[in-house]
Amino acid sequence: MTPSLGWLVALAASYPWLLAGDLLGDLLAPWHLLVFLPGLLLSTPLLRLRPWQALLFAACLGLAYESRRPLPHGSAAFVLMALAAVLQANRHLLVRRRAHLVAAAANLAACALVVPLASLDHGVVGWGAWLWALPVQAAFAGLLGLVLHPLAGSFQAALLDRAGFPQLAEP
């Protein structure tokens, strides 16, 4: 397969996890917990994608995540593209044995930047509610990243291996 389609295969490998996150989010809706997975899904494909592919993958992943949420258009895509640029510059952190911690931190950071935008855009809750809700949402996103990265990362890696996209060599 041509190396320029790696971002599309990575997006296809991430979509079932986004769907599972939507279904789990529907179950957790009474407790007002958001299941945020895009930061977690970003980390494993970055080891196989070139920088321009990583940005394209992050933008499409953000737009796919936004499609079912009341977020300002392009906000999640922009945050994930910035996160992909940071992780791409520090790719050595993803290669080490503690890649699941980096994935959890990436998911926590992306959640902390994206989730408040939903309330600002639609005025759902005031700033007083976010003083306690944002740390809870971010901690929940970090916990999800820590727990689900071994499963999601191995699923994405297996599909990318099957499609013939090897891990890029260290620069």
Q: How far apart are CA 27 and CA 113, in angstroms?
A: 23
Per-residue pLDDT, 33:
81
Q: Is residue 169 part of a domain?
A: no
Quote the pLDDT of residue 81.
93
> Residue 132 falls within a domain, yes or no?
yes
Is 85 exposed, middle or buried, given 0-12, 13-18 or 19+ CB atoms closer than 10 A? Answer: middle
Residue 60 has pLDDT above 90, yes or no: yes
Phi-psi region for residue 34, left (φ > 0), alpha (ψ -120 to 50) or beta? beta
pLDDT at 120: 62
Task: Give the total number of structural domains in the chain.
Answer: 1
pLDDT digits (tens, 9 = 90+) for 73-82: 888 899 999 9
Residue 126 belongs to some domain of the structure = yes
Nearest to 32 by CA among 151, 107, 124: 124
Domain contains 143: yes
Residue 134, domain member (yes or no): yes
Residue 89 is which amino acid? A
- Residue-wise pLDDT tens digits, 81-134: 999 999 888 888 777 667 788 888 888 888 888 877 766 655 555 555 556 677
* Residue 171, in any domain of the structure: no
Q: Let me know if residue 48 belongs to a domain.
A: yes
What average pLDDT does the chain have? 83
**Rounded-to-integer distance, Cα 167 and Cα 147, Å:** 23
Residue 41 counted as domain residue: yes
Domain that holds residue 147: 3-163
Tell whether the torsion through CA atoms of 84, 52, 78 and 13 is positive or negative. Answer: negative
